[in-house]
Structure 1
């Protein structure tokens, strides 16, 4: 039998403050109609000063552990995907480890922006399959509100804060992560980036994006990697029960589904309530669909994302 990383539980965490488009329009030159028409976003959650990437990640991890029925002390690996860590170092994963009361395990951050969770999942899958750990936490957590330029109405309305987590458990059988595929192309740095960093400006910087160009690349890259990962798993689009995509923009989700010939009712959409939470968006959407009953045991899922870099990737999973 094949040792696989099976999703044993999921969890999510959102900041206390929920901000609708109408509320956002009170501080930014925008409107509910303008945001909904272009993005499908209706609300987002914004972190308070006492809510950080690590605290949200820990809350999501606790919820995932509870669903899985696994004690935190059984976790041997924590991989945390984030572009907004609490500190430059140490990793936010080690902070989560301490918050969960785990004395010793492998713990590190992965930075691939919106594709970060797919990168983290692929790394954790490899480490579980090769016996590094029997139980792993894979987390995507962000506080993007900290790096937004609130004077740039074309970008600040797009993002929100939150965290999502999966517990992976080593099992033998046909369930689990079937295949992953990852890509990067650093030639497109100037289309989506933050204009700061420790070794350049010495400051955190703010997010900058050329939305139209990003949209064009996203549709092409995401449809290609979805086809690629299905091929690697020996599957066809018709076999898929649910696509759990990065929640960046409703128009990207629609265009990608059409390009693959997938019906819209198979796409998990939460962008309307969470906005773009970067590395947190895929696990947040996954947990939402599990808890509301859409995703059921035995379903075939495809997870996908694309982010700055550019990076992009996908995973085929039998839940």
Structure 2
């Protein structure tokens, strides 16, 4: 076990709520709204105003997570900024701007991480190992402003993608608490299923592309999630029945339900968010984690399985064990 404790969480949805009725009218006006909502399982998503800086969104979410943890942001010793789209800059790290916004200059280090929709799970692994070796508290924040990379002319991403942020503060563990299993992997052979090309390479504005069919994407993603979850369960000598809460990545409503079904998980043991916030890439899991923690449903000894898949193909799972009752 990697000894670490989740001290606090937070989430933030920047901008205004945008209904599926509005995006459908702009992108596919010839289709029935009821059919679209049934196909994507999303009623609203949030789109930030033009010019919104990811560092500002990150600082707000991390500040709220620090408050929930009962610490000052100036106590953080490491900040990991996660985004599938690269942050505010190609260079330098957006984490530097977050550190400045939180008043942490000279007090901690920070860096950016990108691993598509799996970025938060990857960052949890690194953050937990940092805290376990004495570099704590660690702040992790995933920010996705996917509305920057969509247009009505490309309906598939336009109908589902949204903006959001989720943050967590990791600290010193109590006895019997921490990451009891982790499995991460990448398979570049499937790298062309969904992507945003680099404008520095193509010399033009680049937008989100869903290249594979929905059927192919769902099949690849569901298998990767099930395999990742099973790998972690095997490490820990557990079955899915031993898990208290399962927080999967939520690309759309039907796929979220398909993932739960493939894992054999009762929906009551998860936290659905995609219907209300859309598909928010690496921010999906930390937002659902924050809602779980703030609902105060987590009990001593609970096990929380976070499992994700993203373009690349990236995939992974992580099992967090809450400290048992004293």
User: Which category of TM-score, normalised to the shorter sequence, fits these structures?
Assistant: over 0.9
Q: Give the distance between the partners of 1:21 and 1:308, measured in 2 at CA.
A: 24
Deviations 1:204-239 (A, max 9, x none): 511111232211101111011011112222322111
Distance 2:204 2:137 in 1: 37
Q: Distance in 2 between matches of 1:72 and 1:203?
A: 38
Within the candidate set 100, 103, 111, 2:102 is matched to 100
**Structure 2 partner of 1:20:** 19
**Which 10-residue stretch deviates more, 208-217 or 115-124?**
208-217
CA contact under 8 A between 1:52 and 1:143: conserved in structure 2?
no
Describe the shift of the 1:187–1:243 C-alpha distance in structure 2 as closer, same or farther (beyond 3 A): same
Alpha-carbon deviation of 1:3? Answer: 6.3
Alpha-carbon distance in structure 2 between the residues aligned to 1:297 and 1:28: 47
* 2:5 alignment counterpart: 6
Asked if structure 1 preserves the Cα contact closer than 8 Å seen for 2:23 and 2:152, the reply is: no
- Confirm or deny that 1:119 pairs with 2:118: no
Q: What is the CA-CA distance between 1:149 and the residue it aligns to?
A: 3.1
Greater mean alpha carbon deviation, residues 270-279 or residues 292-301: 292-301
User: What whole-Å deviation, never above 9, does each CA across 1:135-174 have from its counterpart, x for those lacking one?
Assistant: 0001111111101133111221111001000000022421
**Alignment-derived partner of residue 275 in structure 1:** 278
Q: Which stretch shifts more, 256-265 or 175-184?
A: 256-265
Taking the aligned partners of 2:197 and 2:276, their CA distance within structure 1 comes to 28
Q: Distance in 1 between matches of 2:280 and 2:298?
A: 21
2:136 maps to 1:137: no
Q: Partners in 2 of 1:287 and 1:53 — Cα distance?
A: 19
- Structure 2's unaligned 5+ residue stretches are none
Q: Does the aligned pair in 2 maintain the 1:35–1:42 contact within 8 Å?
A: no
1:3 and 1:223 map into 2 onto residues whose CA distance is 23
Among residues 178, 181, 196, which one is paired with 1:179 in the alignment?
A: 181
Quick one: distance in 2 between partners of 1:173 and 1:242? Answer: 21
1:37-59 per-position Cα deviation (integer Å, ceiling 9, x unaligned): 11211100001124222211111
Residue 240 (structure 1) shift: 0.9
C-alpha separation between the residues in 2 aligned to 1:47 and 1:120? 24
Contact 1:196/1:206, CA 8 A, preserved across alignment: no
- Distance in 1 (CA, whole Å) between partners of 2:45 and 2:154 is 17
TM-score (ref. length: structure 1)? 0.94
How far the C-alpha of 1:270 sits from its partner, in A, is 0.4
| 8 A contact 1:142–1:277 mirrored in 2 | yes
Work out the CA distance in 1 between the residues paired with 2:189 and 2:199: 19
The Cα shift of 1:176 comes to: 2.3
Task: Show CA shifts across 1:77-127 (max 9, x none).
Answer: 111110221111111111111111002212001111111111111111122
CA distance 1:186–1:197, shift in 2 (3 Å) = farther
Q: Which residue of 2 aligns with 1:81?
A: 82
Task: For residue 224 of structure 1, give the secondary structure of its aligned residue in structure 2.
Answer: helix
Say if 1:242 and 1:3 are closer, same or farther in 2 by CA, change over 3 A: closer
How much does 1:296 deviate? Answer: 4.2
Q: 1:158 aligns with which of 139, 157, 160?
A: 160
- In structure 1, list runs of 5 or more residues that go unmatched: none
**How far apart are 1:297 and its partner, in Å?**
4.7
Q: Measure, in 2, the Cα distance between the counterparts of 1:100 and 1:122.
A: 23
TM superposition shift of 1:25: 2.5
Within 5 Å, give how 1:244-259 maps onto structure 2.
244-259=247-262
* 8 Å contact kept, 1:290–1:296: no
Contact 1:222 1:305 in 2 (8 A): yes
| Native 8 Å contact 2:2 2:180 kept in 1 | no
How much does 1:188 deviate?
1.1
Q: Does 1:240 align with 2:239?
A: no
* Helix, strand or coil at the partner of 2:165: strand
**Is 1:309 matched up with 2:312?**
yes
Aligned partners of 2:130 and 2:138 also within 8 Å: no
How large is the Cα RMSD of the aligned pairs?
1.7
Equivalent position SS for 1:226: helix
